[in-house]
Structure 1
């Protein structure tokens, strides 16, 4: 399978010392995956960040904006903008948090849950294309390793 166009790099750069830097490799792989994901989600009027908020709002966790910011590692103001955008499209609602009257939780509407179901397929297809050169076993191992890095306390 051909490599994504944005994954191609000149040989002189691919053989540089930077390619021994795991953090650089993670950042480059993330940039490639993010570009593919954003391209796939564009047909649904979403980008990776808004899709992430919508997926989390569609679950049972009923996250607050603060929790979304912490989990997604975004500035709280970015999450406010993302929720505002999704709310303007009637995909999420802010509802009072039953455990803290000063806070709101973000909950997907029926339309938001429907969009997530369709957009998830586009996101998965993009992920499959980006990871096509990895075996199923390697994908599983990569997921395990990334979860260990992303959630070191667990």
Structure 2
């Protein structure tokens, strides 16, 4: 059975298009991240942990990434076992743990970031620099901006 994907019922559905675009970009990212022993979700945790000088709580990771806290625990465990992040007690509340990138994690983050950037640029070659910037701005507004709170989480 041959089904055309370029059909009004699908191309009019922004959710479908975003899902297909996300899948395409995630596959491209995962392909290059594999060389660093990562996939997109642990990569996202590593980026946030490395970029937070004082560390980031697992709750904050869950909120930013839109994942269940139990998923974050598993991702942090994976990165900890690989020596890329560590958990430290929060100075404000020692019951809470902060996740920080290790020196090895920082090195992997830097190397992998270049590879991911190149992979994503390759997927977006049909867009001008201005269109890529506009796409990023629109998606940022969609993810972090206004709109219905019912779909967030």
| Fold conserved between structures, TM > 0.5 | yes
| 2:114 aligns with one of 98, 118, 121 | 121
Q: Distance in 2 between matches of 1:48 and 1:26?
A: 17
Verify: 1:86 aligned to 2:58, yes or no: no
* Whole-angstrom CA distance in 1 between matches of 2:128 and 2:3: 24
Structure 1 position 134 matched with structure 2 position 127 = yes
Structure 2's unaligned 5+ residue stretches are 147-153
How far off its partner does 1:110 sit? Answer: 0.3
* 1:5 aligned residue: none
* RMSD of aligned Cα (Å): 1.3
Residue 76 of structure 1: aligned partner? 69
| TM-aligned CA deviation for residue 16 of structure 1 | 4.0
Corresponding residue for 1:7? none
Secondary structure (helix, strand or coil) at the match of 1:100 reads coil
The whole-number CA distance in structure 2 between the counterparts of 1:129 and 1:82 is 27
Given the superposition, is the C-alpha separation of residues 61 and 23 from structure 1 closer, same or farther in structure 2, using an over 3 Å criterion?
Answer: farther
Q: Runs of 5+ in structure 1 lacking a partner?
A: 1-9
How many residue pairs get aligned? The number is: 144
Cα distance in 2 for residues equivalent to 1:12 and 1:101: 56
Q: Deviations over 1:21-62 (max 9, x none)?
A: 111111110010001100110000000011111010001252
